[in-house]
Amino acid sequence: MESPDIRGGDGSDFATLETAEKIILRWDSTTSEEAKENLIFQSDREEVDRYLQAVDEVQRLVSSVSISDSRHEVKARSTIQIAMARLEDELRNILLSQTSTFEPDSLLLDSSASSFATRADLEDTETAPPDEGEGEEQEEMNLVLPDGSDSNSGSDPGSSRLSSRRSSCKSTSSIREIDLVSSEAVSDLRSIVHRMIGAGYSRECLQVYGNVRKSAMETIFKQLGIVKLGIGDVQRLDWEVVEVKIRRWIRAAKACVRVVFASEKRLCEQIFDGGEVEETCFMEIVKSSALQLFTFPEAISISRRSPEKLFKILDLHDALADLLPDMEEIFNSESSETILVQATEIQSRLAEAARGTLVEFENAIFREPSVVPVPGGTIHPLTRYVMNYLNLIADYKQTLVELIMSKPCAGLKCTNDPVKPDMDISQLEGCSPLALHCIWTMVMLQFNLEGKSLHYKDEALSHIFIMNNVHYIVQKVKSSTELREIIGDLYLRRLTGIFRHAATKYQRATWVRVLNSLRDEGLHVSGSFSSGVSKSALRERFKAFNTMFEEVHRVQSTWSVPDVQLREELRISLSEHLIPAYRSFLGRFRGHIESGRHPENYLKYSVENLETAVLDFFEGYTTAPHLRRSQ
């Protein structure tokens, strides 16, 4: 049936009211089954426009003074009430029909594989599985620090990790608004909202709009994997589970802020045309979701501090730092200030947690209690762990330089206290607080290693242990451009001097006694030089040398110097002392032994035999190889 024109033929307000009332009542779902089953905004556009015009006319009459008859005024207000109830239903239905289901990947700004630092970055790829004898020590050490690790020291993994980490966390993507509802629906929603607010039904309008959009927001959060977890819930999770959740949270948070919140704000702007109502509605929709979003990093910021958490804390800190400029643009009103303040405070707490965790890491190195010597004097797991940790710290240099503002509280003066590590920083003026913390960490590591070296019964092996571990420290610093820039060449030269001095002390502890058996003193008796050699003393000398060299070979072929170049340099150095001395001694006195009885018992090894035997040293054999002798 064709609807009549709203204006009465005589142009009277009463006739207009009558005509408008008929249009509005025709869509009253409380009295019409047809109205209950159909929607105005799913009809043809002429009917939509006719209904909205009817609402406008009645509202105009209610707002004007032209209706002096109280009966007609009551009728007009009743008609408006019916229209508002209908528009409320229409608003709800349009919003529900426009609630989209998004694929999570379409919302994520960075769907590439995450490359944040994890405990996997601290896993050892060089060291074979520990022998059964090492199990007790390893378990004891793991009570304080997770197992240490190593990457190939010949490359610079730090630089590649650093660039990839920055590209993942410091995303160049910014706000990316999407259409949450169609443009046609936006127009319809605007027309409804405008009339409901104009008629004094803003509370009902905001309630319907807010409830539907809030529910849509919660659905999107679930799709992005953001579930309701209290602070206690997060803190009860195993850290390995939390690590995974942090990576997911960072990606989801970018989508929530830069896509979901931004798009929701734009939709509010399109429908409500600014003002207090718009801000109130936007906050009603996003506040609980925003609080839910930031509960997770807040829980991490106040959780128990332990060294393995540092890099995930920094990831969260950097992610928030990256998002805050966008949040300032989105939450830029007085009513939304609380969300921005909360995010800023959480970032500050994460920064404090990072500082505290770094101190805890330093203390954990000092307290690391393992006392069972690692077999063969090789690199201790603690050394691998600490240096890989420092390499990761170097990856986060850009952030940590800003966060670490104070020097280490201990170790700033040389106290010469044998039970405490100390560090003289008088020669390290100009170093950043971060550099001093890294150097202090290595000082405590060396102090700990010195204590562990005392558990070796063989003094020479204790020097090999120190040499291996400090050399490893040097190589790890050199292999990372970022770490080397932090530490500086001055301290690197000091470390180099330490491991070279340990190598020298090893040679003295092992070879002085061996080489003493090749001296001339005590071999001569009175008379001419050629005939004044005591054959019995000479036989004892050869016998003593053979015994000592065999013992050194048997023991030190089971010792380990993992670095190929260092192992070769050490062999060359000891050969330069041993081989010429033995060749000279053998050349001078061989004839005296050969002319006696059973020379093979004393002249057991040729110079070539010794040169070959030296190649067995520091190979880490489980059982010493057979020592070849002269035929």
Q: What is the DSSP string of 120-146?
A: GGGSBSSSPPPPGGGHHHHHHHHTTSP
Domain boundary among 302, 325, 354: 354
Domain extent at residue 238: 215-354
pLDDT in tens, 92-132: 999 999 876 666 666 665 544 333 444 445 545 444 334 43
Check whether 153 has a pLDDT greater than 50: no
Identify the CA nearest to 487 among candidates 395, 413, 390: 390
Do 434 and 321 share a domain, yes or no? no
Q: Residue type for 592, please?
A: H
**Residue 150's beta-bridge partner residues?**
124
Tell me, yes or no, whether 116 lies in a domain.
no
Tell me, yes or no, whether 508 lies in a domain.
no
Tell me, yes or no, whether 175 lies in a domain.
no
Q: How far apart are CA 167 and CA 25, in angstroms?
A: 61
Do 328 and 247 share a domain, yes or no? yes
Tell me, yes or no, whether 223 lies in a domain.
yes
Domain boundary among 323, 354, 385: 354
Q: Look up residue 37 and give its two tokens.
A: 């089953």
Check whether 6 has a pLDDT greater than 90: no
Q: Look up residue 532 and give its two tokens.
A: 């004044």
Q: Look up residue 180 and give its two tokens.
A: 């949450």
Do 417 and 481 share a domain, yes or no? yes
Tell me, yes or no, whether 231 lies in a domain.
yes
Q: How far apart are CA 343 and CA 242, in angstroms?
A: 20
Do 274 and 329 share a domain, yes or no? yes
Do 448 and 559 share a domain, yes or no? no
Q: What are phi and psi of 154, to 5 degrees?
A: -80, -15
Q: How far apart are CA 252 and CA 258, in angstroms?
A: 10
70: confidence class by pLDDT, cuts 50, 70, 90: low
Section 19-29 average pLDDT? 86
The domain total for the chain is: 3
Q: How far apart are CA 118 and CA 102, in angstroms?
A: 30
Do 586 and 478 share a domain, yes or no? no
DSSP string computed for 91-118:
HHHHHHHT-----HHHH-S--SPP----
Q: Look up residue 93 and give its two tokens.
A: 């239905």
Predicted local distance difference test score (pLDDT) of residue 131: 42
The mean predicted confidence, pLDDT, of the chain is 83
Do 347 and 386 share a domain, yes or no? no
**Residue 124's beta-bridge partner residues?**
150
Predicted local distance difference test score (pLDDT) of residue 32: 74
Q: Look up residue 91 and give its two tokens.
A: 């608003």
pLDDT in tens, 372-424: 999 999 999 999 999 999 999 999 999 999 999 888 865 444 455 556 666 66
Tell me, yes or no, whether 251 lies in a domain.
yes
Do 333 and 379 share a domain, yes or no? no
Do 335 and 398 share a domain, yes or no? no
Residue scoring higher pLDDT (410 or 575): 575
Tell me, yes or no, whether 98 lies in a domain.
no
Do 471 and 381 share a domain, yes or no? yes
Check whether 440 has a pLDDT greater than 80: yes
Do 226 and 343 share a domain, yes or no? yes
Tell me, yes or no, whether 24 lies in a domain.
no
pLDDT in tens, 260-274: 999 999 999 999 987
Domain boundary among 296, 331, 354: 354
Identify the CA nearest to 484 among candidates 472, 496, 475: 475
Q: How far apart are CA 575 and CA 337, in angstroms?
A: 74
Residues in CB range of 376: below 8 A, 6 or more apart: 461, 558, 559, 560, 620
Do 346 and 374 share a domain, yes or no? no
